[in-house]
Structure 1
Amino acid sequence: MADTAAASGAEHSNYVAQLGSSDPEEVYGALRTIKNSVIGSSTKKALYMRLDVVAAVSAVLTSAQTSVASRIQATAIVGSLARSRSAGAAAAGGLAARGVVAALVRQLSAGTDARLVEASERALHALLAHSETLAAGGGAEDALVAQVLGIIGGGAGGDSQAGARAVIRLELAVLIVARLCVSEARQYMVANTGVIDALVRQLGRSPAHVRLQAATLQALAALSYENAEICAALAEVGGGGGGGGVAAAAVRLARADDALVRLHACRVAANLSRMRALAAGDVQAVVVPALVRLVRAPAAAAAAGAGAAGADVGADVGVEAVQALGYVCHEDADVQAAARAAGAIDALVGRLAAAWAAAQGDFGDAARFAREARAAFLALGTVVSTNEESRRAAVDAGAFAHIVRALGHGDAGVRAAACLCARYIVRSVAICRTHAADAGLLRPLVGLLRDASSDVQATAAATLVNLLSDFSPLRADALRLGLLPTLAALLDAAAPAVRRNALWAVRNLLVNVDDATRAAVVEAVGMARLLALSEGADAAMREHAVGALRNVAADSAAGCDAVFAARGPAATLALLAALAARPDAPADRAVLVHALYLANNIVVRSDAHRAAVAAHVPLVQAVVAHVASRAPEVAVAALWCVSSVAAGGAGDAGGGAGLRLLRRLGVAQVLARLLADPALPLEVQDRVKGCMDYFGGAEPGPDAASA
């Protein structure tokens, strides 16, 4: 058998070698044999890729001496290789780098053999499914756009055989437009050709042309994705066959019988909705239910008439519907509620169950499962991200079982997506206290902090942020699993997201802890490191570091002493002054609030700390400067600090120095002005009244609290 395999390999190698022959007939024969071998066979595609067929076929297509018959065969090979699930991206990149895209575009020119034109269009459509193609295409897309625009602008019609072929060619041209729109720059490049008007005209075609209608919607979806300007232009374009413009056409076609038409109409509508170019009512009443139906059972509808490829078409429709559902629900609580009402949560969990079952079968496709699972976890996480009822529904539907199973999957994308889904579900305090502990989430999540993928590490750490809160029963278990040294090590990780989320977890771990746990965290992480991070350039790291310091000092004299001991009193007070003096700007407001509460927590722990702060004029000035902040959270934090500094009477270690300094800085007058402001927020007003007690001439009493 080994001899037979070797002979077979040598035979295939000979065919590749013959592509360099000077005999046109020999080249044609080898191309025809290779084409017949690779079409429909992933094994043969992989074999010929190893034999460097990409270079050989590229040489044939870029040669001016190659006959039309050989070009047709070579072009078919290109399309087949590009459609390979395992090697398509590598083949596309290699072919494009060798000038094949430009060669295929030249084969579209007027007067070219009709069979070669059709083969070239199909090959280009397959190649352009891979981002590697345009990255290495050598600028051939400009010529390609001109070619396909001519086809689209010319239109097609009639029921004759020639008319049917023209419709097929038009469909391929429209799909190529969709493939080209892979970035904002390319969206504008395509839109500036005037293709939008030509595409919109196609929406009014007869329902008999459903494939062309679906392709047109796919192109419009690709053109408008995350592009506010193009979405606005589409909203203003009239026509679409049903009146009311593209938005109305997308909503109307979201009810179409054909699954592909419904899918891509929903994608267009989702893009317009995200860019505020479509009425919210249409999205909630029509688009979301249509997507949920596609998520539930796409295969039968999409596979109708698709022959052997039906299952693939149905699966692709389902995954794209899941992705579109997640996209349209992103950061929109009303749309998420509509998705829940339409049954999206059960549909997504059901899709995960079906994907697991299919993956365990004799013909399980690992790559397809990974794509399905990633999409479903991400969409489910999005749908439940803002609503407590939705999170409970996900738990009741059995989401945790799928999440825990996926945390150990071999695909890093699946692990990361499962972590993200879990993160959104455990935002619920009730679920954290009950279901999360019972589901067995903790051990695999802690293990994923040491994952080889930085994306997985980052999402696992972000999920643990919620599980380490003071209300979670899993905090003590996490510490017993060796969480502390792992988090400390991640603060030096190469990936910024890993460092930020690890520090965020440390910060949560310090909320309402006993002194023994506080000391263990400080020892593992390092007080000097926290102080250094509070001065760093990374805004998120600054916020979490100052928040962690605030928690270290909260309700703990030992914690305050630890903050001072790391650098000494003078350097620590200078750092506090610098943090409190930060601008009251939205971008860094969280750091400022944490810094003010940190100063307050240090002041209230002892008279000695109060005296040290009261003697540090820059720090007190910085605090006073924020008393009248327009941001209520900043003003309240500053007012707490003012009342704590003022709380020491004439007999304390500061000798009333804090109160005297505050009087000299005009705090009493500022408080009076604030109290006279009828628009002052209630929470600020309450703190102003508390502070006024210290500036009325009477001996101040205790009014300080740790925060």
Structure 2
Amino acid sequence: MNSLKHEQAVSELDSSDPAVRVKALRFIKNHIIGNKTKKDLYIRLHVIPKLVKFFKAKDTVDSQVQIQAAIVLGSFAYGGEENVTEIVKHDAVKPLLECISLQNDPRLIEAAARALKAIYKCPTADKNDIFVDYHLRDLITLLNPDALNPKTDRERIASIHTAELAATIIARCCDTNEQQMQIANAGAFPALVNLLTCGFSKAQEAALDALAYLCRENPEFGKAIVETKSETSDSPVKIMLNLILDKSPTMRLIAAKCRAKAIGEYSDDVTLIVLPTLVKLLDEKGPVREEAPHVLAYLIRDNEELQKAACDSDAVPKLADFVTHVVDQESLYYDPVGDGDKLKENALMALAAISSLTDDGRKLVVEAKIIPHIVAAMSHRSYGIRAAACQCTRSLSRSINILRTSLVDAGIATPLFKLLSDESTDVQTTACATLCNLVLDFSPMKRMIMELGGIEKLVELVHSPDNTLRLNAIWALKNLVYQAESEIKEAVMKVLTYQTMENLISDQETDIQEQALNLLRNLACTRQHDIEEVFKGLSESRLMNVIENKLHWWNEEIIKQVLYVINNIATGNERHKSAIMNRANILKYILTYMGHTNPEIRVVAMWVVINLSWMEDKSASSQVRVQKLREMGFEEKVKSMTNDDNLDVRERVKTALNQFSQGTIPAKPLSINSTRSRDKNSKRL
């Protein structure tokens, strides 16, 4: 490549003549637009630091030079992550942010905003500079097209385009709740809602996108949007619903996304307008169809009624076709414009959402005959597809019937187990969460996972630096020993060790503490032999110290799980009961928690009393135990609970009072297993 003319253009940037500089910048601009090879050449010729200098010395540099320099920087930024890294390295972001001030030429503002839009498109770009000084204020101001005082129609269109750029930058700077808060406090909501009524589709789309990102995982902000009034006095809900009916597929998609993420109310509108619109968009081509399943998944993920509505709207067959045919270039669904991998990933996520809460959704997915394709997707080159396939399997595994038949027949165990060693932590985490459901009380799958080395792998993941992965690993181990034979419990603890479990019970993460206590609860469940193994593994004194230390915690889930552990130990023999009875502080805590405001805690505390007061043979030792409970005030406390407002508590009170009375037939001791499923919507036992 003859680079002499390009080297000359770079050298001319050092000229003191503004006209020479502008000519050189236009030459560079014309050669690098859409040409990665030329961009790489100019980066090697160190053009970027020269461009940045024009902004740092803005008082002595012609505005036309700065405008052209901003355009060139923007073109470089559109060249990919490596180029953005190079731009950031030379400290170009701060000077570009200085350029969006209203004090500057509107053409410079637009060029700088375009460059910032390209820079912030890169996910690794640092967004912190935008929240320093007055830059965020300037950005919010630009959302109002009148801020630039347009005099002509052409200037008006240019100012609206600048507002569009500002909205896009905002959408890309909402990564954290703190960033959302800062942008909202700067006045973004009314400015963005007003931009929705500007009449220019690209600006409206950008405003919708910004609102959607501002309210992502933030229902408080969704409510704030609903209450924001536009300059036309129309409500944001009405404006969005009108845009959902727009003739442009892109507008309909972005309006539906904003409606889904920003506003949690008006469910009739969602069912009657938003959901059918998204399902119809699955028939579009290119990027719109690619994104529609993702928005659909977000909309219905935690809503059983909307999942049923999605089933009724024939969404499952369409999504299933994407999963089975998208890689086939001869297929009707091959789209050279769109991203096939992303479409398959989003389709799998939508199917996971549809089947997450209802058996009807799971049945439709099975009837679509795509489970073999879901299993195959676990070995896909794209980590996003692998994670989505895991999520889909996780939803389907909530049905025991599907787990026993379709998933096992499709050979789910081996590819799922391999994903525990995936190069992506996200994939490992989702695979581990899926495994939680597969190792419950379905013996063949549990045995298969163990034979593949599942115990060793899960114990390895317990020590991961990623807290979510650690949580899922201990959760899976807890489920593995749920209602398990003694040999399985012993096999797990041989690898995990009781010392590690004790450390996890004192972990910095409360969720991990809870699941470690759940594991202890399941280990000490069902058989006296199992309780004895726990006593041997930890020793009586260490076990009781763990229990006593955790009983003083404020966290209700921790309290509940510790009480379950005590309850299961109290179902053991006289030695096991005595270990509890010999700890006065433990007994005092139990007595206190009998009056807890949480009825679940009162129920468990009552079960502990029932098991501690149980006298199978009315031996001298059991009578001494019951007498000690009386002396500590347990019988009086139970009597005071006869009118408890919770039915389960009242039933347990009757049983306990019978056992405190002489000559009555005692209730059988009851040990209680811990929560079974990894899924947050599962019933806790």
Question: Is the shorter-chain TM-score for this pair beyond 0.5, marking a shared fold?
Answer: yes
State whether residues 145 and 163 of structure 2, in contact with CA within 8 Å, keep that contact through their aligned partners in structure 1.
Answer: yes
Matches within 5 A, 1:99-138: 99-102=94-97, 104-105=99-100, 109=103, 119-130=111-122, 132=125, 134-136=127-129
Query: 3-state SS of the aligned residue for 1:625?
Result: helix
Match of 2:680 in 1: none
Task: Report the residue type matching 1:705 in the other structure.
Answer: L
With 471-480 and 9-18 compared, the bigger mean Cα shift is at: 9-18
Query: 3-state SS of the aligned residue for 1:331?
Result: coil
Give the whole-Å Cα distance in 2 for the aligned partners of 1:26 and 1:232. 54
Alpha-carbon spacing, 1:218–1:499, altered in 2? closer, same or farther (3 Å): closer
Match of 2:280 in 1: 293
Pairing partner for 1:254 from 234, 239, 244: 244
Match of 2:407 in 1: 436
Match of 2:490 in 1: 519
Match of 2:675 in 1: none
Consecutive unaligned residues of structure 1, counting only runs of 5 or more, are 1-6, 300-313
State whether residues 344 and 385 of structure 2, in contact with CA within 8 Å, keep that contact through their aligned partners in structure 1.
Answer: yes
1:680 aligned onto 2:670? no
Task: Report the residue type matching 1:123 in the other structure.
Answer: A
Give the whole-Å Cα distance in 2 for the aligned partners of 1:497 and 1:429. 25
TM-fit CA distance, 1:501? 1.1
1:534 aligned onto 2:505? yes
State whether residues 75 and 123 of structure 1, in contact with CA within 8 Å, keep that contact through their aligned partners in structure 2.
Answer: yes
Give the whole-Å Cα distance in 2 for the aligned partners of 1:88 and 1:285. 45
Query: 3-state SS of the aligned residue for 1:493?
Result: coil
Match of 2:677 in 1: none
Query: 3-state SS of the aligned residue for 1:656?
Result: helix
Match of 2:546 in 1: 575
Pairing partner for 1:167 from 134, 157, 160: 157
State whether residues 323 and 344 of structure 2, in contact with CA within 8 Å, keep that contact through their aligned partners in structure 1.
Answer: yes
Aligned residue pair count: 665
Matches within 5 A, 1:221-236: 221-228=212-219, 230-236=221-227
TM-fit CA distance, 1:94? 4.0
Name the TM-score, length of structure 1 as normaliser. Answer: 0.83
State whether residues 459 and 495 of structure 2, in contact with CA within 8 Å, keep that contact through their aligned partners in structure 1.
Answer: yes
Task: Report the residue type matching 1:556 in the other structure.
Answer: R
Matches within 5 A, 1:574-653: 574-579=545-550, 581-582=551-552, 587-589=555-557, 591-648=558-615, 652=619
* 1:89-112 Cα distance to aligned partner (Å, 9 max, x none): 435534654644146436x75656
TM-fit CA distance, 1:468? 0.7
Pairing partner for 1:455 from 408, 420, 426: 426
State whether residues 437 and 473 of structure 1, in contact with CA within 8 Å, keep that contact through their aligned partners in structure 2.
Answer: no
Task: Report the residue type matching 1:297 in the other structure.
Answer: D
With 217-226 and 459-468 compared, the bigger mean Cα shift is at: 217-226
State whether residues 9 and 28 of structure 2, in contact with CA within 8 Å, keep that contact through their aligned partners in structure 1.
Answer: yes
State whether residues 256 and 274 of structure 2, in contact with CA within 8 Å, keep that contact through their aligned partners in structure 1.
Answer: yes
* 1:430-487 Cα distance to aligned partner (Å, 9 max, x none): 2222222123322122222223333332222111111111125311110110111111
State whether residues 420 and 431 of structure 2, in contact with CA within 8 Å, keep that contact through their aligned partners in structure 1.
Answer: yes
Give the whole-Å Cα distance in 1 for the aligned partners of 2:624 and 2:379. 60
Give the whole-Å Cα distance in 1 for the aligned partners of 2:525 and 2:140. 67
Alpha-carbon spacing, 1:530–1:40, altered in 2? closer, same or farther (3 Å): same
Give the whole-Å Cα distance in 1 for the aligned partners of 2:188 and 2:465. 44
TM-fit CA distance, 1:509? 0.5
State whether residues 291 and 343 of structure 2, in contact with CA within 8 Å, keep that contact through their aligned partners in structure 1.
Answer: no
Alpha-carbon spacing, 1:432–1:55, altered in 2? closer, same or farther (3 Å): farther
Pairing partner for 1:559 from 501, 509, 530: 530
1:479 aligned onto 2:450? yes
With 639-648 and 221-230 compared, the bigger mean Cα shift is at: 221-230
Give the whole-Å Cα distance in 2 for the aligned partners of 1:576 and 1:264. 52
State whether residues 155 and 170 of structure 1, in contact with CA within 8 Å, keep that contact through their aligned partners in structure 2.
Answer: no
Alpha-carbon spacing, 1:406–1:55, altered in 2? closer, same or farther (3 Å): farther
State whether residues 647 and 701 of structure 1, in contact with CA within 8 Å, keep that contact through their aligned partners in structure 2.
Answer: yes
Give the whole-Å Cα distance in 1 for the aligned partners of 2:7 and 2:336. 29
Computed over aligned residues only, the root mean square deviation of the Cα atoms, in angstroms, reads 3.7
TM-fit CA distance, 1:408? 2.6
State whether residues 462 and 505 of structure 1, in contact with CA within 8 Å, keep that contact through their aligned partners in structure 2.
Answer: yes
Give the whole-Å Cα distance in 1 for the aligned partners of 2:185 and 2:608. 58
Matches within 5 A, 1:683-694: 683-694=648-659
Alpha-carbon spacing, 1:462–1:367, altered in 2? closer, same or farther (3 Å): farther
Query: 3-state SS of the aligned residue for 2:571?
Result: helix
Pairing partner for 2:28 from 31, 34, 54: 34
Task: Report the residue type matching 2:53 in the other structure.
Answer: A
Matches within 5 A, 1:61-76: 61-64=55-58, 67=62, 70-76=65-71
Give the whole-Å Cα distance in 1 for the aligned partners of 2:325 and 2:21. 47
Task: Report the residue type matching 1:326 in the other structure.
Answer: A
Query: 3-state SS of the aligned residue for 1:555?
Result: coil
Give the whole-Å Cα distance in 2 for the aligned partners of 1:616 and 1:600. 14
Task: Report the residue type matching 1:268 in the other structure.
Answer: C
Give the whole-Å Cα distance in 2 for the aligned partners of 1:697 and 1:55. 91
TM-fit CA distance, 1:168? 4.3
Matches within 5 A, 1:189-338: 196-197=189-190, 199-204=192-197, 209-228=200-219, 230-239=221-230, 244-274=234-264, 278-294=265-281, 296-299=282-285, 314-315=286-287, 317-338=288-309
Pairing partner for 1:666 from 633, 649, 662: 633
Give the whole-Å Cα distance in 2 for the aligned partners of 1:486 and 1:366. 41
Give the whole-Å Cα distance in 1 for the aligned partners of 2:592 and 2:137. 62
Match of 2:671 in 1: 706
TM-fit CA distance, 1:284? 1.8
Alpha-carbon spacing, 1:167–1:322, altered in 2? closer, same or farther (3 Å): farther
Identity of aligned residues (%): 27
Match of 1:302 in 2: none
Alpha-carbon spacing, 1:563–1:12, altered in 2? closer, same or farther (3 Å): farther
Alpha-carbon spacing, 1:388–1:233, altered in 2? closer, same or farther (3 Å): same
Query: 3-state SS of the aligned residue for 1:647?
Result: coil
State whether residues 240 and 249 of structure 1, in contact with CA within 8 Å, keep that contact through their aligned partners in structure 2.
Answer: no
Match of 1:4 in 2: none
* 1:669-695 Cα distance to aligned partner (Å, 9 max, x none): 333333344x331x3333222222212
State whether residues 374 and 417 of structure 1, in contact with CA within 8 Å, keep that contact through their aligned partners in structure 2.
Answer: yes
| RCO comparison, higher one (Cα < 8 Å, 6+) | 2
TM-fit CA distance, 1:223? 4.7
